[in-house]
Amino acid sequence: MSDRVRRLANWNRDRLERLATEHETPLYVLDTDRVRANYERFAAAFPDAHVMYAAKAHTGQAVLSTLLDAGADIECAAWGELRRAIDAGADPNSLQYTAVNPPDRDLDRAVELAAEYPGLTVTGGARDTFDRLEARGYSGRVAIRINPGIGTGHHEKVATGKDAKFGIPETDVETVADDVRERFDLVGIHAHIGSGVLTDDVAEHARAVGKVADIARAVGDDELEFVDIGGGYGVPYREDEPPLDMETVADRIRDAVGTLDARLALEPGRYVVADAELILTEVNTVKEAPQSTVVGVDASLATLIRPAMFDSYHPIRNVTAPERDPRPVAVGGPCCTSADVFCTDRPIAEPRREDVLAIGNAGAYGYELANQFHSQPRPAEVAIAGDEARVVRQRESVEDVISVER
């Protein structure tokens, strides 16, 4: 297995079959050794930078505790993520809170937390956010999220660097910085360019990063602790896509940033967890239709919504019988919508009823976006490390789904 990417075929199929039998399907399977290896590879490429894990990619306690043990700090985009990071063992003084349009209750809790742990950094992406912080009596550490006007990534919905929702427009940053310095302890500049950056995107990504560094210098990087360029570094979801060479990417980023008095900070998320998890699902229906063969499985868009939301490609493999001749099939779940399809016209080793299929690269925004459409209970999650396997998230029951109703 290449250390730069874990392909679906690299997973041990006998072990996956055993896990499916023991824990039933659909089932998320997380390899925490791979999580650690991915983080350590990324951190080694940026030895002088401050590397934080972007918790929104996967907030599972097994992931967070593994990364904290590996030496990572955590960047959180919501109060719930702050709470989960602390529960996993993070020092609140080390956390960075980068919320977008934070609700009042989230700001209240963040300000209360910072009163006890003044090392917490709060990032604001709107003038209103700083006004709301001041109204709550906050005067501590802040960073300004900026919008460089350039976005990159795998889909327009994640090209945050050019989306007006995210950050202070570049033309206003210096004025906002002057105002913020009078009211708070301005310690950083923050930007996130986009998500799912691969080799073909690196040049544009580096151009955007260079622009962020220029804005930081205009603001006064000699008075800042850090310039945070976010994450967005991707993994190849398609089998023919090459993985990023992080050493080369790091060189491009350093060249683009140039000389800074402030420390460079980065927030990998997808890169750390995407190829460290997959979904196991059982075939329940094989239907011959005029246009295609439809393979029904027990996973659905409630299990993994990325194909429906982003038209995302996820590799699929027949775990039970990979040696069978491949045939083009559509794979879909039990939800009553045409969006509940994982692939169409995809060659897969002939699926038969009760076969177990694996859906790869499910670690980033997989379980995070799982839902209860059709009152479907969310699946169990099993973490493997070496020869050990343990349930880190119990399978919900229908009773769990309806227990909050009154």
The yes-or-no answer on residue 336 being catalytic is yes
Residues sharing a CB contact under 8 Å with residue 203, sequence separation 6 or more, in sequence order: 252
Spell out the alpha helix ranges (H) of 231-372: 246-257, 270-273, 306-310
CA distances from 302 to 33, 298, 332, 343, 355 (A): 27, 10, 12, 15, 20
β-strands 341-349, 326-332: how paired?
antiparallel
CA distances from 324 to 317, 327, 329, 351 (A): 11, 9, 14, 9
Q: Is 170 helix (H, G, I), strand (E, B) or coil?
A: helix
- The helix (run of H) or strand (run of E) holding residue 130 is helix 127-135
Rounded CA-CA distance 59/26 in Å is: 19
Please tell me which residue in 76, 335, 336, 343 is annotated as part of the active site. Answer: 336
- What φ, ψ does residue 144 adopt, rounded to 5°? -105, 120
Q: At what angle do helices 127-135 and 173-183 cross, to 10 degrees?
A: 10
Q: Is residue 341 classed exposed, middle or buried when 0-12, 13-18 and 19+ CB atoms within 10 A define those classes?
A: middle
- CB count in 10 Å sphere of residue 69: 12
Catalytic residues: 336
